[in-house]
Structure 1
């Protein structure tokens, strides 16, 4: 596995993309509307910053923003096989958010591990 991206919950992805884009020389690598979100990936060299802006008031990101405010939402690790990574985590007793991979942004398969089992960090496995 290797680092893939950090997900950042925000109410203004365009402004944050401009800030990080200029400050870090991080161009937009991909942008799409996905699952009620405006999702923007900024290329920071060895990975991405994923900006997550809700398009409506439904879903996990709007709830997160209401509860926690803007900021770091999750850390994503790239794996060649999300199913195998989930099975390893399951065998180790890690609580899973997703029992099986599901479609994610940019057309990738993803699955999340519950932060109660991972030191308070929401971990995402992503298969590119």
Structure 2
């Protein structure tokens, strides 16, 4: 396999922060993810503006805990439609979100509207758009990707990992 040259990136992707899964019935999502697979419900989030009623679940612990959000729309007829596949997404811990956004934008990466803002879990976030366009030819190729500012304890934990693991 040929390795592509790696650009001098001024930030690091540290790991998976979250996986967000939407459906029309949160109880059905809970049946699989909580009852069958054993994830723990650690909180809830509800936002009329974002049209979401979600249970925040977790797998793992400490700085390596991964959040699994089970999302249901408050109104299935309104946007954003968190129960439709395009709003299912993966979140990545980023060690320096402002630098990442600046550098990725300069490289032609398309971001979704909304810019950097505080997310449901209290961390600064932004989203890479799932589709490229002429002005921004690099995007998620069908996947919505959330970039999440890692708190200092997560950055420190990943820094302690052996180089081969990061």
Name the TM-score, length of structure 1 as normaliser. Answer: 0.81
How far off its partner does 1:99 sit?
A: 6.3
The aligned runs of 1:31-42 (5 Å cut-off) are 31-34=44-47, 35-42=50-57
Is the Cα contact below 8 Å between 1:86 and 1:99 reproduced in 2? no
Q: Which has the higher contact order (CA 8 A, sep 6+)?
A: 1
Report Cα offsets for 1:92-127 as digits up to 9, x if no partner. 211111463022212222100111212221110122
Which one has the bigger strand percentage? 1
Who is 2:161 aligned against? none
Mapped partners of 1:3, 1:106: distance in 2? 14
Which one has the bigger helix percentage? 1
How far off its partner does 1:14 sit?
A: 2.6
- Which of 47, 69, 83 in structure 1 is aligned with 2:66? 47
Is the Cα contact below 8 Å between 2:117 and 2:126 reproduced in 1? yes
Report Cα offsets for 1:56-95 as digits up to 9, x if no partner. 2322225x62xx5xx8711111124322221121122111
Is the Cα contact below 8 Å between 2:95 and 2:149 reproduced in 1? yes
- CA gap 1:109/1:42 in 2 versus in 1, 3 angstroms: same
How far off its partner does 1:53 sit?
A: 0.7
The aligned runs of 1:76-115 (5 Å cut-off) are 76-98=91-113, 100-115=115-130
RMSD: 2.2
Name the TM-score, length of structure 2 as normaliser. Answer: 0.65
Who is 2:142 aligned against? 120
- Which of 58, 61, 67 in structure 1 is aligned with 2:78? 58
Which runs of 5 or more residues in structure 2 are unaligned? 1-12, 132-138, 151-166
How far off its partner does 1:38 sit?
A: 0.5
Larger Rg: 2
| Number of residues of Structure 1 aligned to a counterpart in Structure 2 | 123
